[in-house]
């Protein structure tokens, strides 16, 4: 399990693979996990989800930006997404990563980009969720939330269960709408749990605490064992269903998503779109390698095991990248 996780994390951080994937993504089956490459395609995907009783949180894919022009371009794109959500009157909100908006360039630059986005979303009563990234960006992200929450109430964030200090962060932000996840980055042993059992146990603790004490809880999991536990917990403690929702990724466990809606639970699908899909997808596999099996033959042959399937994709992208460079010469 540990080696498989490390393998996927390594792939997610490979720039050559990421760049090649942007050009080859849809040809490699990325449409199974990415809701289009542009706003129009994404909106159509969200409309289809809404028609099934499913809300959406939309992620304009991209992160770890080190160029001001690229960060401004991302800001403008997210502003356009907000406008499209309003114009089409779809049930959706925004998930974003501060590094896409310049956190690695300048804290103040990122803050102003975020302020413009949140102000626009606030006009239309659209919620903005700050995705948390690796540990090196965690405290700066919380600092941004602390600053912007003085002006706006339409923001929330993510708590990652593999961090030892996750509960203290959860307690600090219990009055915010929070998404609780297990965590998908490779973090050292002195910062984060390494064993799946420990992560799962902390994940349940965080969910239970926020359900009992928090504002609104987004429970992000594909694990039916966790989902069944939550069902029993909310029933036992008389927690209203309007206090929480289940979340899953676009393209994963579609039958279970619809089943939860049918049972009367609030459900929200995480809807990524754009060309920068590779790192996102590899981290989903690092987080839970079974995710590849969940989309099976949509991306790879159903008999292909997880590590081999991802390795084959990586090899294909590397070959494509080599051919492109050879042609340039």
Classify residue 261 by burial, with Cβ atoms within 10 Å: 0-12, 13-18, 19+: middle
Residue among 188, 193, 250, 213 at smallest CA distance from 41: 250
Q: Which of 104, 131, 200, 276 is catalytic?
A: 131
Token couple for 114: 């975020």
Catalytic residue among 5, 177, 179, 284: 179
Is the C-alpha dihedral spanning 138, 4, 21, 37 positive or negative?
negative
Active site residue 131: yes
Distances (CA, A) of 267 to 52, 143, 229: 10, 29, 16
CA distances from 118 to 133, 227, 301 (A): 19, 31, 42
Our measurement of the distance from residue 71's CA atom to the centroid of its chain's CA atoms, rounded to an integer in Å, reads 19
Report in angstroms the alpha-carbon separations of 269 from 19, 243, 252.
Answer: 26, 17, 9
Rounded to the nearest angstrom, the gap between the alpha carbon of residue 126 and the centroid of all alpha carbons in its chain is: 18
| DSSP secondary structure of 54-123 | -EEEEEE-------HHHHHHHHHHHHHHHHHHHHHT-SEEEEE-GGGGTTTT-HHHHHHHHHHHHHHHHH
Instruction: Decide if 179 is catalytic.
Output: yes
82-121 burial, b if ≥16 CB within 10 A, otherwise e? bebbbeeebebbbbbbbbbbbbbbeeebbbebbeebbebb
Other residues' Cβ atoms within 10 Å of the Cβ of residue 212:
14
Nearest to 254 by CA among 294, 290, 221, 281: 294
Q: Which residues are catalytic?
A: 131, 179
């Amino acid at each position: 399990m540990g080696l498989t996780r490390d393998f996927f994390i390594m792939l997610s951080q490979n720039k050559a693979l990421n760049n090649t994937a942007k050009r080859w993504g849809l040809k490699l089956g990325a449409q199974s996990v990415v809701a289009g490459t542009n706003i129009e395609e994404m909106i159509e995907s969200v409309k289809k989800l809404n028609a099934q009783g499913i809300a959406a949180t939309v992620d304009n894919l991209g992160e770890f930006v080190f160029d001001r022009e690229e960060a401004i371009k991302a800001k403008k794109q997210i502003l356009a997404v907000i406008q499209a959500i309003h114009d089409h009157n779809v049930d959706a909100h925004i998930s974003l990563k501060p590094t896409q908006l310049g956190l690695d360039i300048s804290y103040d630059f990122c803050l102003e980009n975020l302020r413009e986005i949140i102000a626009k979303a606030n006009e239309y009563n659209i919620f903005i969720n700050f995705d948390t990234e690796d540990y090196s960006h965690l405290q700066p992200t919380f600092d941004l939330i602390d600053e912007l929450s003085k002006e706006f109430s339409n923001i929330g964030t993510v708590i990652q269960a593999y961090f030892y200090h996750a509960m203290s962060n959860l307690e600090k932000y219990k009055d915010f709408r929070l998404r609780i996840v297990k965590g998908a980055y490779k973090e050292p042993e002195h910062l984060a749990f390494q064993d799946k059992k420990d992560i799962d146990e902390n994940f349940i603790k965080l969910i239970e605490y926020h359900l009992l004490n928090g504002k609104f809880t987004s429970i992000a999991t594909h694990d039916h064992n966790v989902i069944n536990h939550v069902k029993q917990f909310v029933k036992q403690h008389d927690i209203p269903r309007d206090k929480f929702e289940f979340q899953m990724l676009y393209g994963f466990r579609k039958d279970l998503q619809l089943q939860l809606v049918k049972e009367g639970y609030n459900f929200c699908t995480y809807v990524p779109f754009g060309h920068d899909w590779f790192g996102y997808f590899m981290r989903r596999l690092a987080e839970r390698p079974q995710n590849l099996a969940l989309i099976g033959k949509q991306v790879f042959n159903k008999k292909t095991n997880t590590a081999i399937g991802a390795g084959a994709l990586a090899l294909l992208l590397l070959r494509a990248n080599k051919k492109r460079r050879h042609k340039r010469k």
